[in-house]
Each structure stands twice: as structure tokens, then as C-alpha cells.
Structure 1
Amino acid sequence: MSRGTATPAVGAHVATGPASARRREGVDADDVMGPGARLAAAGVVVVALVAVALGAGLHVPVLRGSATVVFLFALLGVAPLLLVRPMPLARFVLLAVAGSITGTIGIGYTMATVGWWHPAVPFAVVVVLTSAVLASTVLRDLQQLRRRERRPAPAPLTESVRTGSGRIVLGGTVLGLATVVVAAVTHVGDPVPAGLFGRLGIGLPVGLAVLVAAAVVAFVRGRAVAVPVVALGLAVQLAQAITYGMPTVTAAARHVGVLEYIRQFGRTDPASDIFQTWSGLFAGGAWAADVGGIVNAMTIAAWVPVLLAGVTTLGVGVLAAHWLPGRRRPWIAAFLTAMTGSLNTTYFSPQSTGVLLVVAMLVLATGPLLETAAAVADGSVQRVLRPRTVRLPQVLAIAVIGVVLVVTHQISPYLAVAALGVLVVFRLLRPWWLPLVVLVPAVVFAALNGDVLGRFLSLSAIGKVFDNVQPPEHDMTVLPKPLVTGLAFDVPAATLVLVGLVAVVTVLVRRDRLHWGLLAAAASPISLLVATNYGQEGIFRVVLFATPWLAVLAAGLPLPAGRWARVGTAVRAALRPAAARYVLAAAGVTALVAVGAFGQTALDWNRVTTRSESAATQWYDRTAPKGSVMLLTGSGNAVPGNTGARYFDVDYVSREALGPYPSGTGYDPDADVSTLTRQFVARTTATKYYALVAAPMGAYDERYGYQRYPDYERLADAMASSPYWHRVWSSGTTAVYELTTAGMRHAAS
């Protein structure tokens, strides 16, 4: 991807400003992928395709499925990028993954929309085209490798890694991740009240501590900084995927239901619900699942977030390098983004995918800005910041990603347009019409599906920003919430506020067009709240898209000058310079990792679906007659409902819909079962009545003050012994019951 150049005016010269054109992605300009690195990238793709073939030929489902998902979601875009001009490794990885997701969604969505569902055919075409491209690029790179000088230029990251500090960073990162993986593999199981740390024991903090040490060395020495930062950005998601084997957010289950619907019927039904309309991610996942022969698509929902988390962290670092100097600051921005992002957990969702694609679009659109110096009338020299001009290849790439984004998520395209529009207004980007490349397809698609979208929009919400900013409320609360519930949100939120304050200080100190523009870009997601509350989650989406910009500004905080600089010098002299740098870096990195890990794992007990609960809802979806209804004996927010293709045929009723929870100390589980049975049958009409008992519902009710967990356990025992219900399925901490004849008579009496 070539960078645009501009010819300075007469008497002007190109200067090295805050983001010189000589700096690329936080590394030196000559630190781009050489022929050896490109051959390695091609080799990874070949290995993945061979693994797919071996898995299919030898009937090894795990190998076939995992290799297929890796290829379609992470490696599909490698071959096309090998055809273009060499680029830094970090940029290559970001665009390769973004291109893979774009291609997978585009192909899957096209098949599902036109109703032509033959997954093997486009996969074969993709494999043939990929093989042809790889064959040509491998020959080219082999020839270039032979022509290289005896002492070749360093490949990406090689110069940083081959030093003593670089080896320590790389070795520490590998050791830290390996420790986390071993701890997860040896402690596979359901969530516990103490979260992931309680599940894995000492292995998780030890692994994170090693990663922290590697990051500290990297930040202090300025070597291979991206490596531990990206590792820390995905370490927790990786441990959760291995340990739980399930999505970390129950809402992902609804997404899997759409995915399974597409697999079974070979099409979508856009008029039925908003998930079927904006089904890009789900269609792409369905294509990968069918080609990979994956029986339970919940595994895709569990593992794709690991990729999204790591590559989004990488992408923020690449984006930040356009404006931040040096090897450290861009990755400080990436680190801040990853560690303060737990308010919006990365999971198998259009919004998490949308963030990554928006970051990729911004990387394509932006770049290092040029400063020119020109003489003015009074003889003084004025420095002028010149806008970045986006070339046609980048515009086309943005347009393709934008179209896929439009059919994947409802709000991401508009928030991307808001950010691009701000950069244009502040004359940091041109041409002026670039935001229209994303906006026009989004508006057209929304207009075509206005009847579906209109169900989720309210004219009364337009303009009520203060009302729309309110977070979700839990109206059924009858007990005090545990401290951990509040801290899981308050601690990351407070940290993010601190990052925002530092960002504002940076702007006030710099006071130039670049930093004011970046601050306005951070504020641009607020435009969402002008039109909707987004289901009382608008504030979280604003935070999600504002965080990278705030992190970039915070990482750009100028070093102290004047009196404060002298104070800092005195402190460093007293502590010895090297020791002071390590101590300060260790304190900062440790604190942020603690915040990020706590925010991501503290609510695992009530937020992560158990394997048995997921299996129960899948069994219900497969076997229950059409028109059946299942009573959820706790909050529906803790149940992975609608995980199968028949999610239009069977329904669920959450306990919250049947009235308030019992309050007071004299809880009677038998009376509760009796009351629930009456209310359930009286308020629903069904061909068959079922009930679900599962530990995550009791955990959710405990954490949000609905009901004490011991009382839920008593309710579970009462259901097991009740004459009104007969157990028809059970596994682990989950049981499914069917209403008996006695239960029907009791409900009618």
C-alpha cells in the first residue's frame, strides 16, 4: 500500500513533524516484509490448506474444522496482499485478517441472500485462486531472495528481536502465553464464583506476570513492543476459550441460532428479524462451519473472539503509529485500548467484528501527515500540516470493506462515517467525499430494510441525549448487589475516565489542528446518542468506538518541561535512571493488566454459558414440537436461547416476565414452584411446556440482586421433586423438565 506524497509549495520543505513520513507502524521505514517474510506468510497459508485436506481425508473433525476457520477468518486475505507492494508486518497482519473476514462474510452473505447455498463450490474456487496467487508470489520472492546481498536487510521485527532485549521480550511472551495455555488446558470446566482466576488457580496470574515482565522490558528498551502488547490483548480471551469452550457473552447464542438457520435452510429471511437482515457475520460463520464440517457452531463463537481481540489490539497500534512518534507510543495506545475495553467484551458479534473492520478502514484512509514550512509576508516561517490524500486503491479497499460492514452491523458504518467526516473537516484527510463511500451503501441498505429497522427505532428518542446515555437498568432487583458486580464495571470505567482526562490534557498542551481533530474523532460516536439509545446500550457503543482515539491522545502526552522536568530529573537521579524506568513501567503495566483482566473475568460465573446449559437448549431446539415454550427459572439474560435453526418454532419465557422475584428471608421453594407453574401456563399458550434449571441463572440472579444463589439451589431441588414437572434431560448442573398432567391440572385449578 503506497503512501501519498505531496509537492511542497515554492520555498517550502518537508519537515519531520509529529508523525514523519519516514516512520511506519512504529518501526523504521525500511523494516518492511522482505522476501523471506513473504515466503513465510505464504507457507502459513499452505500449511492451513494442507491441514484442511488432511483433516477431511483422515476424518479428523477437529483438525479439519479448526484449520478451515483459521483459513477463512485469518488467512484468506494473505494471498491478495502478497501481490501488492511490501509493507510492515503489523500492517500486513491487520489487513490480511480484515481482508479474510471481509471475503468470508461477502461470500457467505451472497450465498445466503440469493438462496444458493453450496459452500463447497466457492471454497474450491477460493482454494484454486489462492494456490495460483501463491505459486506466482513464491516464485517471485524466491528469485528476490537469491538476488539479495550477502548481508540482507533485516526482516520485520528481526532487528528488534535479535538483540538481547528483543530475545528476552520474545522469550518472555512465548513463556507467558504457554503458561496461560497450560493452566487453561489443565483446568477445563464450568465458571466458578471467583471467575477465571478462581478456575485456573495460580497458573493464570503467573502467566500474566511473565507477560507483564516481557512488556516492561519491551517498553523500557523499545524492542519488539508489539509482541507482548498483542499477547496481553488476547491472553484472557484465549484462556476463556480453552477453559470454558463457550462464548463469554450469552448474547452470542442468538447469533449462533441465525448461523444454524442459514446452514439448515440455505438462506436468510430478512423480513423476520434484524439478525436475519444484518446477517453478514452469521452467514460467513455458516459457510466456515459447513466447509469445516463443524457440528456445534458454538465452538466458532468461542474462538473467533480470540482472533478479534488480538488483531484489534494490533490494528490500534498500526493506526496510532500514523500520528505518534517512536517505537513505544503507538503500542502504548494499543495497550491502553486493550486493557480498558472490558466494558464492551469482545465476543462473536457484529459489533466486535465492526470495530476491527472500522480500524482497518481508518488505517487505509490515514497515514503519517507531512509538515511544510513556508515563508509568509512578514518574513517569518509558518509550519503547515498537510492533509493525507487517499489514493484510489485505498478508496476501493475501503469501499469493499464498507459494503461488507453495512450488511454486518447496523451502527458501525455510521460511526466510521462520523470519524472519517471529522478528519475531513479538520483537514487531516482528503478527498472530502471519502465518507460518502461508506455512507451511501449504509443509507441505501437501511432504506431497503426500513420496515425491520423501524421496529428498533423510536422517534421519541431523537434528540434526547441525556436520556439515551443512560445504561441498562435492572428493575427486578430486590436484594443488594454484590460488590464484585459494581466493581466489574466501575473499575474499568474509572480507568477509562482517567485515560480520557490524560487525552484532554494532551490536546490542551498541544493545541494544534491534529490533536483537536483526534479529540473530535473521539467525540464523534456521541452522534449515535442523538438518534437512539440503542436498547439502553448506546453509551457502551459510544465508549467502544471512542476508546482507540482517547488512547492515541493519552499515549501522545508530551514529556514534562520546565520545573516539572527538573523534578522528574531529580527523581530519576535519586532512583538511578534505569531502575526508575523499570519501576514506573512495571507499576503502570501491572495496574492496567489487573484492570483489564478483572473487568474481563470477574463476571464469568454469571456471564459465561456452561457446556451443559448450551447442550440443553440445543436439545430443546431439536426435539421440542413446534409451538413449545420453555420456562426459564431465572433471568433469561443467562440462557443461550435461540441457538438452533428452529428458533422461530420454539420459544422461551424468562422468569422476569412472570412477575417479581420472591423477597424477604422466608423463601419457600415449593410455593415458588407452584406459583411459577400457575403463572407460566396462564400467560402462555403452547403445544408443550418445558422448564429449564441451570446454574448460570442462579449465578446471574445472585449477581444482580434478584435472588440468592442458595435459594435458587433450593428451587432446583424443589423442581426435581415436584409432581408438576418431569425431568426429560439432564447433564452437569443443568436439567430440562416437561410439565406433567398433574402440573396442567394444578395450573388450571
Structure 2
Amino acid sequence: MTDLSDLPPLWSARHAPAFHLLLPLCAALALWLYAVRHTDVSRLDDYGLLTALHPAFWAGLAVLTTGFWFTVRDRRRAGGWPAAYVLGLLVMERATQAVLYPTPLYAWAWKHDGVVDHLLTDGGLQSAERIGDMAVYDQWPGFFAAQAALVRLLGVDSAAMYMAWWPLASSLLLLFPLLLVYRTFTGDGRLIWTAVWLFFVANWVGQDYFSPQSVAFALHLGVLAVVLRRYGRTGGGGGRRGQAVWTVLLTVLVVAIVISHQLTPAMLVVSLLALVLLRRHRDWVPVATTVVLFLAWCATAALPFLSAALPDMLRAVGDIGGNVERGYGTTPTGTGALTGSWAARLLSGSVLLLALAGVRRQPVLRYRAMPLLVITAAPLPMFAASGYGNEMIFRVLLFMLPGVAFFAAAALLPEVRTLAAEEAAAEAAKAGSRRKAEPPARRGAGARPRTGSGIRVWGPVLVLLAVTAAFVPSYSGKDRINYFPPQEVALVGQLFDEAPEGSLVVAANRNYPLAYASYGSIDHYWFLEDDRSHVDEIVRDPAGTLAADMAGVDRPGRAYFLFTRGQSANSEMNGQLTGTQLNGVLESVAASPRFRLVAENGAGAVYELRRPDGAEGPGDVEEPGAVEGTRTVEGTAGGGER
């Protein structure tokens, strides 16, 4: 029933360990281990991890890439060797940050940890009347409920205990459905594993972090694999009973997607609909099942959010320019940020051009792998549907990438084999007419590829080296923004642990850890997300304008101003306020008698707005050293009033 027997074998007893294949892999991992032990991330600049990495990392990456190519290009190698190199690549790509940084990266990952903590604390879903805009996560709770259960199962304090390793885990989760999709169209291990390699090095978008998208995308690929393999073959499901089993599996996968993420079900619908409308699949069961489940969820659990967002969603339809336009504060500035941005563009552009070359160079794929070509192009109309918070361009690229990587890999290889061509050749051989059934270019497909030199051998190596190296600045070039040192985590943690219910936290932007801790009881205001005119007012008179913005918080709540290095890095590198301007805001607040210092350390400071009557509330006594690495002044921000 599982139909896994025709996957490329991971290992074969006939293939004894080849030390000349093992040596580059071991050497690359040894260089990686040496590099991470000698890399200092305490002083990241605008180039992020790019300039911080020890040179041994780059040497290891070059050795790994070269070793992979000379391993995968030989058809006689069992799939285990290319698989081992791909796993090595994932370790170097996705585990490096988890090893180097003592705290999890990325503010949005910390936000999702806050949602999981909310479910664990409140024990159920909440409405917008109680938690405001954050109720959207309660309307798509699948991922967060699963993580809450996992936290309970593991017995850890929070998802923050393991979410640093989530990029590696989610990438491994993608590997199996990706192999299933590729194996639907070819039995050529060279093409399969080269496509897998290109997929992972071109997947710089960063949706592998601790998020619903990371799991929903893997489930999306799983649905496509089931549809392509079970619904795309005549009688492929073992009759009606077998087809019913696959429909049940399909339904389970779609339900998991629908209850976890807003965009992925829409992407799945357009992909499945394109297959049917372009007559690449005649079975309406998958697309009908997906549409019914998607609409049912939208009309029930997700209705509160959708009804409020519908006017903006309708205005975005057809506005392609507006949907891909960046908003204020999202344009990279500075040499380091621009370098990472252009590296990402060149990486994506190069892989897209390779894909076009592969479609042109391998005409057999234009016909035999046409369903995958259709799925690759299907997300493009989504540009006209929504801006998705200025991220639609990145999401479209992500959903196109599996197909793009497949056809890009075909551009780096000589003639490739497809399953349809192999099956036709086998049938023709039985009839004694193999030479008529197989095109001349395909004769001798099972033979060892010719071992030429020059551009045929070294050209693909150089391409793989270039795109693999470009992944690092594209993926890790903004680590100055995304990394929060332990001092910053401690400072913000102290604030939210001690702030009374009903308090207000004001910050420049939301780029700091634990920004959504206790979001059911504490409000936030990020002034750089306000109108530019008001931001200019804050720059002109920081203390006075912020004091006015923060006034009116009812007891026992309090109003806090939080400044951290993560906010400053985000503002500088995304073209909001300069470091000088933000420091001016901090200095004005620090010098104003309307604010008092609550806590500070090397990563930032917390100030509280004094009450007009001068009453600071109970518990405001000096308790220096409340958190390791944090100096507390005049008490603990409302301690004793919780």
C-alpha cells in the first residue's frame, strides 16, 4: 500500500564502503567542527555570520560540495552516498547557528513560543475581545496546540528549550516528501539528489524556523506526493479500496494544513486546481477535498479574522505592484545588509535561470515531468491575490522551489532518465523492439556516464560551489538582527515577569525576545510602526512625546519604555532610524524626570513612566542584581502587585 519500494535506495550491500567517497565527507565535517569551535559571535557586524565564521567553515563547505558532485554524478553509486552528503549539508547549513548561539534566533520564533505558552497557561483558545489581534493564532491553532502537547510530553519549561534546532528538524522533515515527489518522475539518482541539494541551498527564505509554515510546507509537499503518485496513475491505488485509503490519508494531511496556516491551503488549492484544469490529472477528489475543508474552516473557526480582514484582502486583489512593494522600514540599508540582499537575489535568480535552462536542455522533462512544471508555475497568480504582509514574493518563491530545483538540476546533468521512458523501454524490450522505443540520445542510459574533463565536469562543480556559498550570506547575513544574547533575554524576561497585569510596554519595534510574553494581559506599542509623522515627533522630542503616548495606563498596570540592542540593529539595517537617532531617544528618556530607570545591562535598559501623583506603588524598593547580568534600580518594576 505504501508504494515506497521504488524510492532511490539509501544503501546497497553490493556497494562496499568507498573510502575515497567517505574521506571528503569526514574532512568537511571535521573542518566544520573546527570552525564552530573557533567562531566568535559576541560581536556581530552588519554582515552577520558571514564575516564571523572561521575560514575553516568555507573550506569545509567547498570540500563537501565538490565531494557531493563527484559522488552523485556516477550512476553506479548507491543512494546512500549522496544522501550522506545532503545530510552533511543540512548540518552545516541548519545546525551551525544552533551550535554557535546560546539563545534561539529570530523574534518571530520567540513570538510563536509566546503563543504556545499562552495555550499552556490559559488552557484553551481565546477570542479577539480578550487578546486582540493575537486571536488570529487561536483561529489557526494546529501547530501551536501540537507544540504545547510536545512541551508537556518532553517535560521542558517552554518551546524555547528546543526551537533553536527547529530549522534542522523542519529541513529533515522536508526530505522524505521531496524524494517522493522527485521519484514520481525519474529513477535517475543523479537528478534526484542534485535537485535535493539545490533545493536546500536555494531555500534561503527562512521559513524553516519555529513556525506553522515550516510544518505546513512539509505537509503541502506530502499532499502533492500523494496526488502525483496515487491519483496520477491509472489504477495506481490498488482499486477502489486502495484509492479510499489514499483519500483518507490525503484528508488527514489537508486537515492538518488547514487548521495550522492561512496561506498554505490557498497555495495547495491553486496547485491542485492547475493540475486538473490543465488536464494533467483528471481526478477531482484531491482538489475538491481540499477546497471543501479549506472553506469549511474559513466559514467557522477562522471567520472572525477573515470577516475583519476581508476589506483589505479585496483591495489587494489585482494590485500586483502593491503586493510586492516593500513597506517603510523593510528596505535593507548599509553595506552588510545590501550584500546579503543581493546575494539572496542572485542566488534565486541563478537557480531560476538554471531551471529554465534545464527545461530547454532536457526536452524529455517538458513532457514526462509536465505535472511538476505545472505545480511550479501555479503559485505565480498569488502575486495578484494578496501582499501577505509584504512577504508574498518570498512565499511564492518558497512554493515554487521544489520544481525549480528539479529542473535546475537537469541543467547540470547530461541526458536524464524519466520513469515513463524507462517503463516504455522495458515494454518495448519485451516485444523485441527496444531500439525503436527509445530515442537515440537515450541508448546506453544504464551505462556509466562518460568521464570527460573541462566544462562538462568542472562547470557544474563551480555552479554548485557558487550557489552553495551564496546560501550563507542570504540565510545568515542578518544575524545581527536575529540574534539576542543572553543578557537581552534576561532583561526582557525580568520585565515581563514583574510587570503587573494591564501594563503597557513601549519599544521602537518588536525585534526583541519574549516580545509577546503574557500578551493576554500586557499591551504593546511599537512606535516605528506608527505613521512617519509621529515617528518624526518622537525624534524631535522623545521624552515628551513618549510620555504622552504612555499616559493613561490604569492601576495596577504600569507603562514601560524598553530599549534593546535587537531593536537598534533592526532599525539601522532596515532603514528606519539610525543608531544615533535611537540613542538620542534613549538619552532623552534617561535624562527626563518623568521616567525612572528600572533595570539595565549591556544589552539594553527598561524605564518606567512615573505616575503624575508620584505614587510608584508597593514593592518599589531597591533590589540590585535581581537577574544575573542585569542591574536593577529602585525596585523591580511593580513586583508584589501581580
> Helix, strand or coil for the counterpart of 1:556?
helix
Tell me if 1:639 matches 2:493: no
Given candidates 680, 689, 713, the residue that maps to 2:549 is 680
Given candidates 599, 613, 616, the residue that maps to 2:488 is 613
Given candidates 727, 731, 735, the residue that maps to 2:605 is 735
Which residues of 2 match residues 328-477 of structure 1 at below 5 A?
328-367=190-229, 391-429=243-281, 431-449=283-301, 450-457=303-310, 458-461=312-315, 463-467=317-321, 469-474=323-328
Aligned match of 1:24:
6
1:337, distance to aligned residue in structure 2 (A): 1.7
> Helix, strand or coil for the counterpart of 2:379?
helix
Is the CA contact (8 Å cut-off) linking 1:507 and 1:515 kept in structure 2? no
AA partner of residue 704 (structure 1): N
CA distance in 1, matches of 2:491, 2:467: 38
Mark the CA change 1:451 to 1:369 in structure 2 (over 3 Å): closer, same or farther.
closer
Which residues of 2 match residues 586-665 of structure 1 at below 5 A?
586-632=461-507, 634-636=508-510, 638-644=511-517, 646-657=518-529, 660=532
Which residues of 2 match residues 65-144 of structure 1 at below 5 A?
none
CA distance in 2, matches of 1:608, 1:160: 44
Aligned match of 2:168:
306
CA distance in 2, matches of 1:253, 1:536: 21
Aligned match of 2:423:
none
Aligned match of 1:584:
459
Given candidates 574, 580, 586, the residue that maps to 1:704 is 574
Aligned match of 1:215:
68
Is the CA contact (8 Å cut-off) linking 1:314 and 1:334 kept in structure 2? no
CA distance in 2, matches of 1:260, 1:416: 30
Per-residue CA distance 1:291-348 (angstroms, 9 max, x = gap): 3232243233322222112332554244223223422211221222212222344211
Tell me if 1:232 matches 2:89: yes
Mark the CA change 1:476 to 1:281 in structure 2 (over 3 Å): closer, same or farther.
closer
Mark the CA change 1:433 to 1:471 in structure 2 (over 3 Å): closer, same or farther.
same
**Structure 2: runs of 5 or more not aligned:** 416-450, 616-642
CA distance in 2, matches of 1:191, 1:242: 16
> Helix, strand or coil for the counterpart of 1:194?
coil
Is the CA contact (8 Å cut-off) linking 1:342 and 1:492 kept in structure 2? yes
Is the CA contact (8 Å cut-off) linking 1:386 and 1:428 kept in structure 2? no
Is the CA contact (8 Å cut-off) linking 1:388 and 1:429 kept in structure 2? no
Mark the CA change 1:191 to 1:356 in structure 2 (over 3 Å): closer, same or farther.
farther
Aligned match of 1:202:
55
CA distance in 1, matches of 2:248, 2:314: 38
Given candidates 500, 503, 513, the residue that maps to 2:352 is 500
Mark the CA change 1:729 to 1:452 in structure 2 (over 3 Å): closer, same or farther.
same
Is the CA contact (8 Å cut-off) linking 2:47 and 2:336 kept in structure 1? no
> Helix, strand or coil for the counterpart of 2:543?
helix
CA distance in 2, matches of 1:162, 1:599: 35
AA partner of residue 414 (structure 1): A
> Helix, strand or coil for the counterpart of 1:469?
helix
CA distance in 1, matches of 2:180, 2:106: 28
Per-residue CA distance 1:269-312 (angstroms, 9 max, x = gap): 25551111111111111112223232243233322222112332
Is the CA contact (8 Å cut-off) linking 1:388 and 1:430 kept in structure 2? no
Aligned match of 1:253:
110
1:161, distance to aligned residue in structure 2 (A): 6.6
Identity between Structure 1 and Structure 2 (%): 22
Is the CA contact (8 Å cut-off) linking 2:46 and 2:573 kept in structure 1? no
When normalised by structure 1's length, the TM-score is 0.67
Aligned match of 1:70:
none
Mark the CA change 1:328 to 1:369 in structure 2 (over 3 Å): closer, same or farther.
farther
Query: Root-mean-square deviation (CA), in Å?
Result: 3.7
Mark the CA change 1:620 to 1:517 in structure 2 (over 3 Å): closer, same or farther.
same
**Structure 1: runs of 5 or more not aligned:** 5-22, 32-88, 90-155, 371-384, 562-575
Per-residue CA distance 1:105-147 (angstroms, 9 max, x = gap): xxxxxxxxxxxxxxxxxxxxxxxxxxxxxxxxxxxxxxxxxxx
1:527, distance to aligned residue in structure 2 (A): 4.1
Mark the CA change 1:425 to 1:673 in structure 2 (over 3 Å): closer, same or farther.
closer
Is the CA contact (8 Å cut-off) linking 2:527 and 2:535 kept in structure 1? no
Aligned match of 1:171:
26
1:640, distance to aligned residue in structure 2 (A): 3.5
> Helix, strand or coil for the counterpart of 2:607?
strand
AA partner of residue 406 (structure 2): V
CA distance in 1, matches of 2:69, 2:184: 23
CA distance in 1, matches of 2:149, 2:230: 38
Mark the CA change 1:246 to 1:427 in structure 2 (over 3 Å): closer, same or farther.
farther
More deviation in 207-216 or 717-726?
717-726
> Helix, strand or coil for the counterpart of 1:548?
helix
Is the CA contact (8 Å cut-off) linking 1:169 and 1:218 kept in structure 2? no
Aligned residues: 565
AA partner of residue 440 (structure 1): V
Per-residue CA distance 1:175-200 (angstroms, 9 max, x = gap): 3553455456xx46575433123344
CA distance in 2, matches of 1:487, 1:625: 43
CA distance in 2, matches of 1:652, 1:307: 32
Is the CA contact (8 Å cut-off) linking 2:49 and 2:473 kept in structure 1? no
Aligned match of 1:528:
382
Aligned match of 1:322:
184
Given candidates 536, 539, 545, the residue that maps to 2:393 is 539
More deviation in 495-504 or 542-551?
495-504
AA partner of residue 474 (structure 2): G
Per-residue CA distance 1:408-461 (angstroms, 9 max, x = gap): 111212322332333344555463312223332222111102122233333533
Aligned match of 1:692:
562
Mark the CA change 1:207 to 1:731 in structure 2 (over 3 Å): closer, same or farther.
farther
Is the CA contact (8 Å cut-off) linking 1:188 and 1:242 kept in structure 2? no
Is the CA contact (8 Å cut-off) linking 1:339 and 1:596 kept in structure 2? yes
> Helix, strand or coil for the counterpart of 1:162?
coil
